[in-house]
Amino acid sequence: MKNNNDLTLNRRTLLAGAGVALGGAVLPGLESLAQNDNDDGVVFTNTTVVSNDADRRTLKNVALAVQNDVIAAIGDSDELLARFPRAEVYDGRRKALLPGLINCHAHLAATIAKGFNEDFGFPNSLQLPESPESLLSSEEATVMSVLAAIEGLRAGTTTMVQNVGGIARDAEALAGTGQRWVFAESVRDITTVDGPMSPPRLANSVPPQFSDRLREDGMQRITDLHSAWDGHDNGRVSVFPAAALAELSSPQLLRDVREFAERHDRGYTIHMTQSQAEVDFMLRYHGVRPALFLDQHEFLGPRLFAAHARYCDASEIAALGRSDTIITHQAAMAANRGVSPPITALRRAGCRIALGTDNNNTDLLHVMKTAISLERIQRNDEIPGTLPQPEDMLADAAGGGSHAVNQASSIGSLEVGKKADILVLDTFKPHLTPSGRILSAWIHNGQPSDIEAVVVDGRFVMRDHRILTLDEDALLEESFNIGERVWNRILRDGPLPLPPLL
Ligand SMILES: [Zn+2]
């Protein structure tokens, strides 16, 4: 049971970033942010710029100038200092600038399930009587979501897609982290199944039935969230519709979601071919595999970023490519599940690839590390270990992601005129020095803690490794206490049973 002190701390932690003054006092986080807001912009001098532009150039010994929310110039340091004489000078020697990463698939509150969700398959084979998430109050779930957002920010995520139902609860707290957000409000309308398919469930399943009421209520949630948040904070927040999973969606729901996205010029998303049981369910009751079901109902297309594609067959891959559907690849989660999604075949079919984390952690650097290895193992190249390259991973994580979130013209690369969403890497580290190819060094050897500063929309949200938008110590303290309570309850009868390794 929480006491009043906890509630006060909770409000302080969460509201600090949202610009809410409590008791008439400006909170520490806000003050710091204001101090770092330089109206005259900032020039990063004598630095390396990993651009992720069309030519994938890495520019050495250059300057990058930020004015307001955009990249105003990239060029010679002396020239840019003369051109922006009043701008703050950020010494970029021994640093590298990268475009902010875009996490296209996250369920943030699931960070409470770290240590439970990585090691037991999908759906989780442990079948505990209570899942960690079910033991969170709604306020605690918000704290977990903000914790995961900050973990992601520290790992270089400047844009994040939160994909759950009921985002309104967390919207203000999430927007307050200072990141760019896509709130992908998730809807399902099946009444005969309550979650993702699993083999035991499939054995006892019945033909799916759908509820108009569930669908209409869900679409109303999307409409309400869109009205309240889309375009907020200088366009940092956008709201997308989402169908939860292929096996939980009626054709009418798929239609409603796609039409909402088209009407509002937004993207949309879904979980697709996430498990073999899902494929079996769709074949049993709809007579087609999941991606082909979506194709039949005109759900595929360039606005769709479909999560997972783990069990797609050749006919599904062809349909996804033909329709220019974007695939969001949760490489680390897939590898945990023992699955290597057919990413090479999807690329060859014409799909853009974006990256996501899914549950438990929000570290996109870890995802890039796993994705590059998984795909190299999967490919059958003449010289193994040459494709994909680190530049391909950044192209997925920033470029592919920018298409998924429907903002390719404004984010995803460091180019003049684009939004200033920038990571500052400290390359003066044993594992990054020396390096002729800093992007390769970072993806293969790097750590989130190499990022010393993060700029989103032209503002520092982290600087000198310090989060500026909220009180991170208070957030951690509270998160730790929530974790202790939840996990003590789960583990009170002993350790989780482990399968024997034979
Ligand atoms: Zn997911």
162 alpha carbon – ligand 1 mean position (Å): 10
What are the angstrom distances between the C-alpha of 371 and each of 99, 316, 396?
18, 21, 10
359 alpha carbon – ligand 1 mean position (Å): 7
- Tracing tokens 């532009």 back to the chain, one arrives at 53
313 alpha carbon – ligand 1 mean position (Å): 20
427 alpha carbon – ligand 1 mean position (Å): 33
Alpha helix positions (H), 199-275: 199-203, 212-229, 232-235, 251-263
* Helix (H) or strand (E) run with residue 315 in it: helix 314-322
> What b/e readout covers 342-364, taking b as 16+ CB neighbours within 10 angstroms?
bbbbbbebebbbbbbbbbbbbbb
pLDDT the model gives residue 495: 84
Q: Name the pTM for this structure.
A: 0.93
For the record, the structure tokens of 96 come out as 């590298």
Domain 101-404 falls under CATH 3.40.50.720: no
Distance CA 408, CA 455 (A): 18
209 alpha carbon – ligand 1 mean position (Å): 23
∠ CA 120-123-127, rounded to 5°: 70
Distance CA 188, CA 194 (A): 9
228 alpha carbon – ligand 1 mean position (Å): 24
For the record, the structure tokens of 364 come out as 């996109």
For the record, the structure tokens of 188 come out as 């399902």
Could you tell me what percentage of the chain is helix, strand and coil, using 3-state DSSP and rounding each to the nearest 5? 40, 20, 40
| Gyration radius from the chain CA atoms | 22
Contact 247, 274 (CB under 8 A): no
Q: Report the 10 Å Cβ neighbour count for 208.
A: 19
* Helix (H) or strand (E) run with residue 60 in it: strand 58-67
Contacts for 8-14: CB closer than 8 Å, 24+ residues apart: 9/474, 9/477, 9/478, 10/139, 10/143, 10/478, 12/471, 12/474, 13/143, 13/146, 13/470, 13/471, 13/474, 13/475, 13/478, 14/142, 14/143, 14/146, 14/172, 14/173, 14/176, 14/470
448 alpha carbon – ligand 1 mean position (Å): 23
5 alpha carbon – ligand 1 mean position (Å): 34
302 alpha carbon – ligand 1 mean position (Å): 20
274 alpha carbon – ligand 1 mean position (Å): 9
Distance CA 326, CA 334 (A): 17
Distance CA 112, CA 130 (A): 13
238 alpha carbon – ligand 1 mean position (Å): 19
Q: In what order do the strands lie in the sheet with 304-308?
A: 101-106, 157-164, 180-187, 237-245, 268-272, 304-308, 326-329, 353-355
Picking from 168, 266, 238, 233, the residue whose alpha carbon sits closest to that of residue 461 is 233
94 alpha carbon – ligand 1 mean position (Å): 38
Cβ contacts of residue 58 below 8 Å, gap of 6+?
Answer: 48, 49, 50, 51, 437, 438, 439
243 alpha carbon – ligand 1 mean position (Å): 11
271 alpha carbon – ligand 1 mean position (Å): 6
pLDDT tens digits in sequence order for the chain, 502 residues long? 333 333 333 444 454 443 333 222 223 344 344 445 568 999 999 999 999 999 999 999 999 999 999 999 999 999 999 999 999 999 999 999 999 999 999 999 999 999 888 999 988 888 888 889 999 999 999 999 999 999 999 999 999 999 999 999 999 999 999 999 999 999 999 999 988 988 888 988 999 999 999 999 999 999 999 999 999 999 999 999 999 999 999 999 999 999 999 999 999 999 999 999 999 999 999 999 999 999 999 999 999 999 999 999 999 999 999 999 999 999 999 999 999 999 999 999 999 999 999 998 999 999 999 999 999 999 989 999 999 999 999 999 999 999 999 999 999 999 999 999 999 999 999 999 998 999 999 999 999 999 999 999 999 999 999 999 999 999 999 999 999 999 999 999 888 888 899 8
226 alpha carbon – ligand 1 mean position (Å): 21
DSSP state letter for 168: G
Alpha helix positions (H), 37-137: 77-83
356 alpha carbon – ligand 1 mean position (Å): 9
Q: Could you tell me the residue ranges of all domains in the chain?
A: 101-404
